[in-house]
């Protein structure tokens, strides 16, 4: 996918509103309400919702919602495929470029980018650092080591060679854990060093000026007690609608080690299907893991002082007034 070679001037750049916050807090619903109210389009920023074949456990917008306003980067990566933060960065640029070309007479200049993936969100603002292609030999080494010593020991190895990266990752995040180890094996340098060098090369202002869009950020947050109730209720509903059957079918087809099926919620459903969790234990285990994920998401986003935070359940009038002010500043 081609990136924009000549970034547009500020006046012609689209305005992108990044909506972040913990899982289950109501980001997708807010994005839809804002897009309907202001006439914008929605772009996904969730690392599971990009994949085909996963519906009930990913909390994707419904087909009815997707018909109300244009939605982009949902349900488009083929079953069994892999999609990196770099792929996401290119895909967002491609969507924005194509929408402006397709609507040249009346440009689509407002987009709501919604999701809780910090890795994806970071590429929108900071771009990407270049490491180069990982060799097939290094990829095979990872596969061999995972079989020989297991992912728990590989996580301990990452702690030894790149503790900064390891602290940011869950031991169950095999994809990013493996990526960090392969970078070290391939280059002899920790992944965290490449990230630090990239952040030091230019200021945030310099990077902002080269972006092909204007990016503003709002966040939704909720106290832990209320969030637990919301997450538990949502979990019960997804299980009732057939989440277990969806995962069972994917396992039958051989996708048990596919990264999305190792993510929060899916790995607990897999444990239930193996007999490690009872039907009664499953909802509570998913709820607890989801809350742990929410805590990590908030830790990530709290480091960003440019996010304007709103309490959930949110006051739509309050947020729409805030967005109107952003639009006024953008247009003048």
Angle between the 281-302 and 224-240 helix axes, to the nearest 10 degrees? 130
Q: Phi-psi bin for 222: left (phi > 0), alpha (psi -120 to 50), beta?
A: beta
- Give residue limits of the domains in the chain: 13-129+203-225+305-331, 136-196, 227-294
Average pLDDT of the residues in 186-214: 71
Residue 1 reports pLDDT greater than 50: no
pLDDT band (50, 70, 90) for residue 2: very low
Residue 103 reports pLDDT greater than 70: no
pTM here? 0.79
In CATH terms, the fold of domain 136-196 is Histone, subunit A (1.10.20)
Could you read off the pLDDT of 9-30 as tens digits, one per residue?
455 789 999 999 999 999 999 9
Q: How many CA atoms lie within 13 A of 262 on its CB side?
A: 15
**Pairing outcome for strands 15-20 and 214-221:** parallel
Burial string for 252-286 (b: 16+ CB within 10 Å, else e) reads eeebbebbbbbbbbbbbbbebeeeebeeeebbebb
- CA 190 remoteness from chain centre: 23
Could you read off the pLDDT of 256-281 as tens digits, one per residue?
989 899 999 999 999 999 999 999 99
Task: Please choose, from the candidates 18, 19, 15, 31, the residue with its C-alpha nearest in 3D space to the C-alpha of residue 107.
Answer: 15
Average pLDDT of the residues in 158-167: 93
Residues above pLDDT 90, as percent of the chain: 63
Burial of 120 (0-12, 13-18, 19+ CB in 10 A): buried
Greater confidence, 197 or 291?
A: 291
CATH number of 13-129+203-225+305-331: 3.40.50.300
In CATH terms, the fold of domain 227-294 is Helix Hairpins (1.10.287)
Residue 130 reports pLDDT greater than 80: no
Q: Which pLDDT value is given to residue 99?
A: 83
Helices (H) and strands (E) in the chain, counts: 14, 6
């Amino acid at each position: 996918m081609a990136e924009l070679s000549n970034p547009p001037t500020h006046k012609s750049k689209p305005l992108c509103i990044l909506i972040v916050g913990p899982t289950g807090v109501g980001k997708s619903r807010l994005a839809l309400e804002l897009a309907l109210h202001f006439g914008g389009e929605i772009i996904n920023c969730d690392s599971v919702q990009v994949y085909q074949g996963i519906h009930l456990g990913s909390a994707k917008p419904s087909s009815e919602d997707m018909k109300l306003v244009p939605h982009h980067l949902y349900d488009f990566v083929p079953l069994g495929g892999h999609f990196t933060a770099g792929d996401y960065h290119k895909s967002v640029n491609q969507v924005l470029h194509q929408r402006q070309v397709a609507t040249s007479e009346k440009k689509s200049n407002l987009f709501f980018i919604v999701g809780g993936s910090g890795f994806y969100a970071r590429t929108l603002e900071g771009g990407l650092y270049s490491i180069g292609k990982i060799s097939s030999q290094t990829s095979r080494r990872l596969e061999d080591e995972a079989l020989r010593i297991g992912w728990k020991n590989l996580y301990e190895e990452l702690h030894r060679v790149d503790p900064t990266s390891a602290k940011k990752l869950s031991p169950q995040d095999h994809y990013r854990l493996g990526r960090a180890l392969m970078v070290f094996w391939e280059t002899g340098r920790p992944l965290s060093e490449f990230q630090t060098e990239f952040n030091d090369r230019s200021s945030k202002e310099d990077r902002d000026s080269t972006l092909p869009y204007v990016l503003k950020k709002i966040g939704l947050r909720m106290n832990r007690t209320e969030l637990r109730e919301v997450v538990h209720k949502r979990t019960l509903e997804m299980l009732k609608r057939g989440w277990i059957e969806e995962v069972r079918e994917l396992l039958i087809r051989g996708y048990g080690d596919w990264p999305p099926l190792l993510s929060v919620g899916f790995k607990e459903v897999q444990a239930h299907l193996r007999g490690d969790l009872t039907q009664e234990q499953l909802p509570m285990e998913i709820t607890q893991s989801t809350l742990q994920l929410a805590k990590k998401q908030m830790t990530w986003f709290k480091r960003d002082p440019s996010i304007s935070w709103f309490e959930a359940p949110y006051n739509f009038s309050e947020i729409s007034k805030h967005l109107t002010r952003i639009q006024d500043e953008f247009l003048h």
